[in-house]
């Protein structure tokens, strides 16, 4: 099999890889904020449940969570395994990354000086207005660097979908490598991940620069 043929076959899984990446960000970023707010709740049971959720998701391997979401319903309830593997894959990735984003958001929110809340209260802002108009814009600026690290990790973690035989790019490359006894597909995949990560890092750097109020 020629190099061109390998690239063409692996490009068939590129769309699946991109689907995992963008859908995971679409769901995990807002879900992480919801979990962060629950984690900071003044209601102890709610705060405790959110803390346990985060601990479990951060304390167990993503691959295990992926297998649990994909095949768990079958073993527990006898339900059929989803024909479209993208659904359980995105669910597993989204809840996993939401747990990490939640802690990043929480750290950003709790780093804000208490004086800003007090000043907003004096000016007549409600708690929701204070958070949305004053706190959140500053939190976004502060959490961009750690969020960037997680997004870059997500690019590489898309390859874990091979564990449930989802036909993303790395899975196809692995199949070609096994059938051809060649390491070339892995090199092609490595180049893709490197270029994709470089692009993500560039985009996130541009966002961080736009949020730099002191330039």
pLDDT in tens, 78-125: 777 777 889 999 999 999 999 999 999 999 888 888 887 888 888 788
Encoded tokens for 182: 């060649």
What architecture is the 3-210 domain classified under in CATH? Orthogonal Bundle (1.10)
Q: What is the pTM of this model?
A: 0.89
For residue 27, report the phi and psi dihedrals to the nearest 5 degrees: -95, -35
Backbone CA torsion sign across 197, 201, 202, 204: positive
79 Cβ contact list (under 8 Å, min separation 6): 73
Q: Going residue by residue through the chain (215 aa), what tens digit of pLDDT does each one get?
A: 777 777 888 888 888 999 999 999 999 999 999 999 999 988 999 999 999 999 999 999 999 999 999 998 888 777 777 778 899 999 999 999 999 999 999 998 888 888 878 888 887 888 888 888 888 888 888 899 899 999 999 999 999 998 888 888 888 888 888 887 888 888 888 888 999 999 999 999 888 888 775 45
How far is CA 69 from each of CA 94, 150, 164, rounded to the nearest angstrom?
A: 11, 21, 10
pLDDT at 37: 92
pLDDT at 213: 59
How far is CA 150 from each of CA 70, 105, 134, 167, rounded to the nearest angstrom?
A: 23, 12, 25, 23
Q: Where are the domains of the chain?
A: 3-210
Contact 193, 155 (CB under 8 A): yes
pLDDT at 199: 93
């Amino acid at each position: 099999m020629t190099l061109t043929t390998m690239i063409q076959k692996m490009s068939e899984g590129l769309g699946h890889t991109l689907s995992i990446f963008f859908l995971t960000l679409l769901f995990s970023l807002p879900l992480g904020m919801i979990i962060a707010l629950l984690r900071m709740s003044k209601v102890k049971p709610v705060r405790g449940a959110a803390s346990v959720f985060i601990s479990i998701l951060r304390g167990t391997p993503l691959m295990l969570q992926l297998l649990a979401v994909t095949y768990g319903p079958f073993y527990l309830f006898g339900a059929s395994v989803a024909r479209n593997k993208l659904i359980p894959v995105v669910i597993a990735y989204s809840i996993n990354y939401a747990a990490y984003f939640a802690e990043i958001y929480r750290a950003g929110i709790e780093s804000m000086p208490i004086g800003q809340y007090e000043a907003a209260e004096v000016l007549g802002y409600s708690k929701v207005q204070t958070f949305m108009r004053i706190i959140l814009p500053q939190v976004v600026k502060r959490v961009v660097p750690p969020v960037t690290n997680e997004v870059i990790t997500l690019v590489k973690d898309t390859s874990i979908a091979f564990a449930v035989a989802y036909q993303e790019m790395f899975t196809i490359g692995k199949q070609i490598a096994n059938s051809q006894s060649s390491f070339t597909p892995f090199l092609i995949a490595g180049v893709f991940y490197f270029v994709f990560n470089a692009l993500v890092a560039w985009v996130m750097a541009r966002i961080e620069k736009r949020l730099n109020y002191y330039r």
